[in-house]
Amino acid sequence: MKKSYISGLCLLLCAAVIGAIAGKSFYDKRHFVEDIFPGDHVTEVMMLSEFNPNLEGTIGDTEIYVLKGEAEGGSLLVLGGTHPNEPAGHMAAILLEENALVTAGTVYVIPSINHSAFTHNDALEGSPQYLHFTNQSGEVRTFHYGSRATNPIDQWPDPNIYTHTSGQGLSGSETRNLNRCYPGIADGTITERVAYAVTNMINTLGIDMEIDLHESSPEYAVNNATVAHERAMAIAADGVLDLELSDISMSLEPSPVSLHGLTHRELGDFTNTYALLMETGNPSQGRLRGYTDEALALTGADPCYVINYDLGLLYVDYSSGDFPIELRVGRHLAGINAYIDAYNRVADANRQIVVEGIPSYDEMLENKVGYYLK
């Protein structure tokens, strides 16, 4: 009896220690503030709650970095962090606002559009919690690796079926997927309030073009692709041609009319913006991956994907044996440049968007992400 009592106490003590360690990890993740700084050419920092007061004081509120040129012109909105387990979109948005110089028009950058989703990881995925980059000064900057969905601490419980405002029914967990909640509801769930704020921002400011930055697993068919609303197809096709001529493979997909809630569908329908979404391959979120850690998220090197590439199961070129974040961020930045150029070819002279200083695809591959961080 005494041995059993001692064994029970030891087990309870071990459980308490494990619980304390896990609790501290969850607490630290929830309250960690990322190293995001306004670039030298940022002219203003706004808050998303300016476009939906119901976000003020909530985890859903987040920074909007404004780069306004001296000359009047058109406007672009770039969304990063819709799905924080897709880090290339988040990092591309950060590099954009820290490096770009807008000389005509205005570029709005939201690096962490689903702020809540950065504060946790997807259950049972074994994902890293943070990514680290060293800048030119030797300083290590730390960023979240988050979840595809809003933190359940902020929005719970999930319904059995999520009914979109269009009447479309989806799995209940999709109620916390920001890219299923557009055009949003002003006083809805935290996720719907964020979506509404973006829609209202575009309408209020008359933003001409919007680009949503994503990643997808290498075995997913819509990969290395741009998805475009029908009104944006001409711009997207022109930009894709430019990318292909620069040896950056990019396919073009039309936004499905019957699939609701996504930026490329709803922002095109409920605003006058040209709505685009870019996807690039990310081995760290795939289903065929092996051990998942920070190295996989940064290098994309995974022997499991080498095997599956040889079997012809992937939709990205994995012949090099990796798919590093520099390549993925570089693709996004090159796409932003290409679609700005394509937009300018059809826009009126007084609606041009002129941007300098965006790192090129080749520069990203050569110098790496940290080189362009403040």
Amino acid at 74: G
> Residue 75 in contact with residue 107, Cβ under 8 Å?
yes
pTM of the model: 0.96
Amino acid at 100: A
> Helix, strand, or coil here: 16?
helix
Tokens 């475009």 locate to: 228
Amino acid at 63: E
* Rounded Cα gap, residues 75 and 16, in angstroms: 54
Say if residue 264 is in the same domain as residue 122. Answer: yes
Say if residue 12 is in the same domain as residue 62. Answer: no
Say if residue 92 is in the same domain as residue 17. Answer: no
Q: Which domain CATH number covers 350?
A: 3.40.630
Number of domains in the chain: 2
Say if residue 125 is in the same domain as residue 219. Answer: yes
Q: Can you give the pLDDT of all 374 residues of the chain as single tens digits?
A: 567 778 888 888 888 888 888 788 889 899 999 989 999 999 999 999 999 999 999 999 999 999 999 999 999 999 999 999 999 999 999 999 999 999 999 999 999 999 999 999 998 888 999 999 999 999 999 999 999 999 999 999 999 999 999 999 999 999 999 999 999 999 999 999 999 999 999 999 999 999 999 999 999 999 999 999 999 999 999 999 999 999 999 999 999 999 999 999 999 999 999 999 999 999 999 999 999 999 999 999 999 999 999 999 999 999 999 999 999 999 999 999 999 999 999 999 999 999 999 999 999 999 999 999 99
Say if residue 142 is in the same domain as residue 2. Answer: no
**Residues spanned by the domain of 207:** 34-372
Say if residue 45 is in the same domain as residue 154. Answer: yes
The CA-to-CA distance between both ends of the chain, in Å, stands at 63
- H-type helices in the chain, by residue range? 2-31, 87-99, 190-205, 233-245, 263-270, 294-299, 303-310, 325-346, 361-367
Say if residue 7 is in the same domain as residue 49. Answer: no
* Rounded Cα gap, residues 52 and 60, in angstroms: 10
Q: 67 - beta bridge partners? A: 107
Say if residue 360 is in the same domain as residue 239. Answer: yes
What 160-166 contacts at long range (C-beta under 8 Å, 24+ apart), as own/partner pairs, is: 164/260, 164/261, 165/260, 166/260, 166/261
HSE-up of 234 (CA within 13 Å, CB side)? 6
Say if residue 137 is in the same domain as residue 3. Answer: no
Residue 72's contacts (CB-CB under 8 Å, 6 or more residues apart) are 104, 105, 350
Residue 367 has phi, psi (to 5 degrees) of -100, -20
Structure tokens at 2: 């005494």
- Of 115, 165, 353, which is closest to residue 269 (Cα–Cα)? 165
Say if residue 154 is in the same domain as residue 284. Answer: yes
> Residue 180 in contact with residue 262, Cβ under 8 Å?
yes
Say if residue 125 is in the same domain as residue 214. Answer: yes
Say if residue 187 is in the same domain as residue 77. Answer: yes
> Helix, strand, or coil here: 249?
coil
* Rounded Cα gap, residues 14 and 8, in angstroms: 10
